[in-house]
Amino acid sequence: MSKMGNKGKKLMILALALTFILGVMSFVSAQPVGGSLTEGESERRVADNSKTHDAVAGNITALDITANQITNIWQGYFGNISGGITLDNADNDTFYDWTGSEPTGEVFAARAAVSDWTTTECSNQTALYKEEEALTILNASSEGINDTFVPGTHPSFTVGSLGAFTTCRNALPYDDTGAEAFWNVLLNADQGTLVYTSIINGTSNAFDGEGTVDFELLVPTDTTQSSTTYYFYLELS
- Read off the pLDDT of residues 44-87 as tens digits, 9 standing for 90 and up: 888 888 899 999 999 999 999 998 899 999 999 999 998 888 89
- Burial class for 74, CB neighbours closer than 10 Å (0-12, 13-18, 19+): middle
Neighbours of 51 (CB within 10 A): 7
- Which amino acid is it at 201? N
State how far Cα 237 lies from the chain centre.
Answer: 15
- Asked whether residue 20 carries a pLDDT value surpassing 50, the answer given is no
Distance of alpha carbon 171 from alpha carbon 150, whole angstroms: 7
Given this model, what pLDDT does residue 43 score?
Answer: 84
Distance of alpha carbon 138 from alpha carbon 55, whole angstroms: 37
Res. 185 pLDDT band, cuts 50 70 90: very high
Contact 156, 163 (CB under 8 A): yes
Comparing CA positions, the residue from 89, 119, 104 lying closest to residue 190 is: 119
- Which amino acid is it at 111? R
Res. 103 pLDDT band, cuts 50 70 90: confident
Comparing CA positions, the residue from 235, 216, 114 lying closest to residue 175 is: 216
Alpha helices (H) in 30-124, listed in sequence order: none
Give the dihedral sign, CA 182/234/145/189.
positive
Given this model, what pLDDT does residue 5 score?
Answer: 56
- Asked whether residue 163 carries a pLDDT value surpassing 90, the answer given is no
Given this model, what pLDDT does residue 25 score?
Answer: 38
Given this model, what pLDDT does residue 198 score?
Answer: 98
Contact 222, 228 (CB under 8 A): yes
Distance of alpha carbon 111 from alpha carbon 116, whole angstroms: 14
Residues paired with residue 52 on neighbouring β-strands, in sequence order: none
Given this model, what pLDDT does residue 39 score?
Answer: 85
